[in-house]
Each structure stands twice: as structure tokens, then as C-alpha cells.
Amino acid sequence: MDAAKVRLTIPQGIDPALVTGAGDCILRAVDAMKCGEALVRGDSIQLSGSPDEVEKLTRLFTQLIKMASAGQVPSSDDADRIMEAPRHQDLAGAGFADDIILTYRGRAIRPKTAGQKAYIDAIRSNTVTFCLGPAGTGKTYLAMAMAIAALKRREVSRIVLTRPVVEAGESLGFLPGTLQEKIDPYIRPLFDALFDLTDMERANEYIERGTIEIAPLAYMRGRTLNDAFVLLDEAQNTTPEQMKMFLTRLGFNSKFIITGDATQRDLPIKRGGLTDIEDILADVADVSFIHLGRSDVVRHQLVGRIVEAYDAFETARDARARAKKGERHERAH
């Protein structure tokens, strides 16, 4: 087998430790991938292996250097995403380096995949954006970041966060506490994202003043939401009637973001609000649909593998069901 070697130089002013990751985690990730060999000495990176392996490693370290030069701190997860991305895709380009917002801890929130970048661009360019994809792809978190940024820039005067309250085996009426205490577990993920993006004291102040409103979807009926950034989360659990009701709440100078994952429906027997929504709104201007996939998962690497395993299992199950149906049809004739 032909062997190839490439030498890269880390530019002056960039800490080599950023390129190799905390505790050399990126070098360990490269070893685990069994894709050639990377040796770092000072500001020099020696890459060796088959031509294909060296090409992938060259692309990886070139983009890691770009990320480090833009002030980002690459992680082993970033390395995995870059290695799995299509060859032409530049995950460290200028578009990916743009900050959306800084959390109160000073951490920059940026899109980490091409799908997330498309999602952010869609929110900026459209009044209504649907984002559909599996768990861990940042659907809710990025929408929250955009909402907080819009509020701080005074582009809107308030944020409205809503979810369908779906009973899963227990009736809300039999749970103890006030109505707010009953719905709190359903709304809690929105609070978690909010408190990660701004300090708890400021967030509670926004909520008390009504600048940020968090409420069940049922509370949206009969309202018109003007000058607001509105996020409907877990939209796969809406009914078609609820989705129509929500979309017609749109007021002047508002943005609507609808997120959901069709594989995590808690109402499997009923038709969902996302079932035919792309066909219904296909020819409506200023409405965008973004689909995120396994390659956009930015939680723990295991989340992506879990999503992939479920997809494979469901595909195989559907194939078996179709085969059995075909056998029964043949026997009937």
C-alpha cells in the first residue's frame, strides 16, 4: 500500500495546545479512529498513513488550526464532526466563527455543523422556521440563543416559549399542586436552556416582568403575538388543529420557530401537527424547513450512535413487516 506524509505548521500566535485539545484529547481521538498517525512537535504536525488517511487528517488539522485562530477551543467532538463531514464542507469557515451570543459565563454560542449553520441562517432570513431533527442536534438551544440575542439587540420586545403539555400515563388533574406546579415538569427544559444562556437572576427578572413568557400551547389560543420571538418546542406532540392555531397567532414584527422530532411522539395514535406541514406550507413564502440529522448531533458522541442504532432498528423492522405482508399476499393468491 502506498504511504503518504504531510507536514503542517501551526502559525505563530496560535497555541499548539488548542490544536491538539485539552490533555491531547484530539490526538487520542485520532488514534481511536485508526486513521493514519499524527505527531505534534512544537509548531509542527507530521501526518502519515495511506493517501486517503493523510487527506482526511490534513483537512482535520487545517480546520482545527482555523478554529483556534478564530478564538475557538476545539474538542474531540469537533474532530469527529470534521472527519465525518463531506469533503467539501468547511466547518471552521468564517460563517461558523460568527458568534450568536455570549452566555453570562462568557461562552460563545456558535453553530457547529453545516445543518446548524443552515438553521441559523434560516431564522435570520425567514419569519417562520421549522427545524426537524433528532435529539441532541441543538434545535431548541440555538433557537433560544437567537431569541435572547434578538431581545438584547431590542429587535423584539419579548420572548414567548411554549410547548404542548402531553399527558404520558398520568392525568394532570390528579397530580398535586397548583396549575403552574403541574405544568412545570413539561416546561422545565426551556428553563434549563434559558438559565444556561443568561444568569438566573436576570432570567427570573425577565419572567416576572413578562419580557419572557413560558406557557403551555393551550394558552396561545385567541392571542396575537406582536413584536415577539416565539418558540414552539416539541411540536411533534401537537395536533394539526393546534399547529394551525399556533401559526395563526403570528403578529407584526415577530418570528416563529417550531422545533420537533417526529421519532419522539407521545401521541402515536393521532395525526401530528408536523405530519403534513411541509406539503401544506410548501408554496408559502417566508417559511423555511430545516432538517437536521445524526451528523448534526452535538451532545455526547454516544447520543449520535444511539440515534443511528434506533434508525437502523426501525428500518429493519419496517422491512420485515413489508416482507411478511408480501408473504401473506402471495399465500392469499
Same domain (yes/no): 56, 122: no
Q: Which residue in 296, 320, 325 sits closest to 308, CA to CA?
A: 296
Same domain (yes/no): 107, 79: no
Same domain (yes/no): 110, 90: no
- Residue 251 CB coordination number (10 Å): 13
Which pLDDT belongs to residue 102? Answer: 61
**Cell reading at 83:** 472527519
Average pLDDT, the chain: 80
| 69 contacts 12 by C-beta, under 8 angstroms | no
8-45 as b/e: b if 16+ CB within 10 A:
bebeeebeeebbbbeeeebbebbeebebbbbebeeeeb
Whole-angstrom Cα distance, residue 172 to residue 271?
A: 22
Q: Which residue in 241, 288, 297 sits closest to 78, CA to CA?
A: 297
Domain presence at residue 304: no
List, for residues 118-131, the tens digit of each pLDDT value. Answer: 899 899 999 999 99
Same domain (yes/no): 201, 255: yes
In the chain, DSSP finds a helix count (H) and a strand count (E) of 12, 11
* Sequence-ordered list of residues with C-beta below 8 angstroms from that of 132, at least 6 positions apart, any chain: 139, 259, 260, 261, 262, 274, 289, 290, 291, 292
Domain presence at residue 314: no
In the structure, what pLDDT confidence band is assigned to residue 291 with cuts at 50, 70 and 90? very high
Domain that holds residue 35: 4-94
Q: DSSP string spanning 135-156?
A: TTS-HHHHHHHHHHHHHHTTS-
Handedness of CA 6, 7, 11, 15 (dihedral sign): positive
Which pLDDT belongs to residue 152? Answer: 84
Same domain (yes/no): 106, 85: no
| 36 contacts 49 by C-beta, under 8 angstroms | yes
Same domain (yes/no): 71, 112: no
Q: Angle at the Cα of 202 (from 200 to 206), degrees rounded to 5?
A: 110
pLDDT at 35 over 50: yes
Average pLDDT over residues 187-195: 78
Eight-state DSSP code of residue 225? B
Which pLDDT belongs to residue 94? Answer: 44
Same domain (yes/no): 217, 240: yes
Same domain (yes/no): 204, 268: yes
List, for residues 138-159, the tens digit of each pLDDT value. Answer: 899 899 988 988 888 889 999 9
Q: Which residue in 142, 158, 286, 144 sits closest to 225, CA to CA?
A: 158
Task: Find the CATH number of the domain harbouring 25.
Answer: 3.30.1370.10
In the structure, what pLDDT confidence band is assigned to residue 277 with cuts at 50, 70 and 90? very high
* Sequence-ordered list of residues with C-beta below 8 angstroms from that of 266, at least 6 positions apart, any chain: 166, 168, 237
Using CA atoms, how far residue 307 sits from 82, 93, 106, 266, 313, in Å, is: 19, 27, 31, 17, 10
Pick the range with the lowest mean pLDDT from 16-25, 47-56, 71-80, 239-248.
Answer: 71-80
**Cell reading at 142:** 440555538
In the structure, what pLDDT confidence band is assigned to residue 113 with cuts at 50, 70 and 90? confident
Same domain (yes/no): 144, 283: yes
